[in-house]
Amino acid sequence: MPGRPAVLSSLLYLWASPTSLVGLLAFLGCKIGGARAAVIDGVLEVHGPGIRRLLAALPVRFQVQAITLGHVVLGRDRLALERTRVHERAHVEQCQRWGPAFLPAYLLASAFAWAAGGHFYLDNVFERQARAAEEPEPTPGSSNRRA
């Protein structure tokens, strides 16, 4: 990722690589179906018909726009990748922090949210953090309060 020393970036890529490998396998599986990819800010962003079908098959009741697996973001289309970039980059940072424990931790967080009577996705702590990253930073001298 930009702005980090090369050694630290390399270690973060290595630490997150088990999760990134899952994303790369999904990309390779969809490559035959015309998936397109680009590296943006050190993250492989992938979209295409196969990815769209893969995301539609996820067990949720709403349309998933994108999903992050390490340093790989799978999106329905290019526009979805652009719209969700801030949210998905928060997940990239989570993967860098949690490393190989990210996927199990994410699933456990969903289970805890559900067991506590919440929504397995919306109340997942990882999703709450990613949504918080989407909130604009207050500018000096301004207030987040509404008039």
- The predicted pLDDT at position 106 comes to 97
- Mean pLDDT for the chain overall: 90
Q: Note the pLDDT tens digit of each residue in 10-30.
A: 999 999 999 999 999 999 988
Please, are residues 32 and 50 in contact by the beta-carbon 8 Å criterion?
yes
- The predicted pLDDT at position 134 comes to 92
**pTM of the shown model:** 0.87
